[in-house]
Copies of this chain bind each other. A is one copy, B any other.
Amino acid sequence: MRPVPSPFRPVDDAARTLARALLDGARTAALGVIDPESGGPMVTRIAVASSQGRVLALISDLAAHSRALASDPRASLLIAGPPAKGDPLTHPRLTLQCRARFEQDGRDSLRGTWLNAHPKAAIYVDFNDFRFVSFDILQGYLNGGFGKAYVMTRDDVFG
């Protein structure tokens, strides 16, 4: 494959506003992890909540992505807007390159944040095998539609 010109535009306020709106509205994401068996990538769907500069997830020990993150904290989240009509390749979406951190403390506060975003999770939030994970953002890639791509910092995304 030959070298190619940068496909990214300079980040502006409109791009930041769009990225923040996507993150604020996110209730689910596609999570990419390193599969400890193959060393390759694995993508699953998880529930997320964004609050106070942090992306939070509640995941079960039974899930393959939990074992993967316990073994390698490198993660990627693909966040898109709510279901919409038309061509999904023209809908804005945000890729976040992250480091996952299993939360050990502050469960009451995390539980409150979580149930605010996901009221129905009250059924299983206290199950023994469910843990809170925070995703610390290292870099973001915003795709605002065909030809509208931006590389973003954590500050661009969280402001």
Contact A45 B7 (CB under 8 A): no
- A63 CB, nearest partner CB in chain B, Å: 7
Contact of A87 among B43, B120, B143 (CB under 8 A): B120
Tell me whether A143 and B32 are in contact in the complex, defined as CB-CB below 8 angstroms, given that A61-B1, A66-B1, A129-B4 are known contacts: no
Asked if A76 is at the interface (CB within 8 A of a chain B CB), the reply is yes
Q: Which of A5, A66, A80, A88 has the largest count of B CB atoms less than 10 A from its CB?
A: A88
Residues from chain B with Cβ under 8 Å of A88 in the complex: 27-28, 45, 47
Residues of A76-113 at the interface with B, using a CB-CB cut-off of 8 Å, are: 76-78, 80, 83-85, 87-89, 93, 95, 97
Contact B129 A75 (CB under 8 A): no
Contact of A41 among B46, B66, B70, B75 (CB under 8 A): B75
Residues from chain B with Cβ under 8 Å of A141 in the complex: 44, 64
Contact A74 B4 (CB under 8 A): no
Contact A32 B28 (CB under 8 A): no
Interface code A53-67, partner B: CB below 8 Å = 1, 0 otherwise? 000000001111011
Contact A32 B42 (CB under 8 A): yes
Contact B44 A4 (CB under 8 A): no
Residues from chain B with Cβ under 8 Å of A41 in the complex: 32-34, 41-43, 74-76
Residues from chain B with Cβ under 8 Å of A32 in the complex: 30, 32, 41-43, 76
Q: Which of A39, A43, A62, A67 has the largest count of B CB atoms less than 10 A from its CB?
A: A43
Residues from chain B with Cβ under 8 Å of A63 in the complex: 7
What residue of chain B has the Cβ atom nearest to residue A85's Cβ? B83
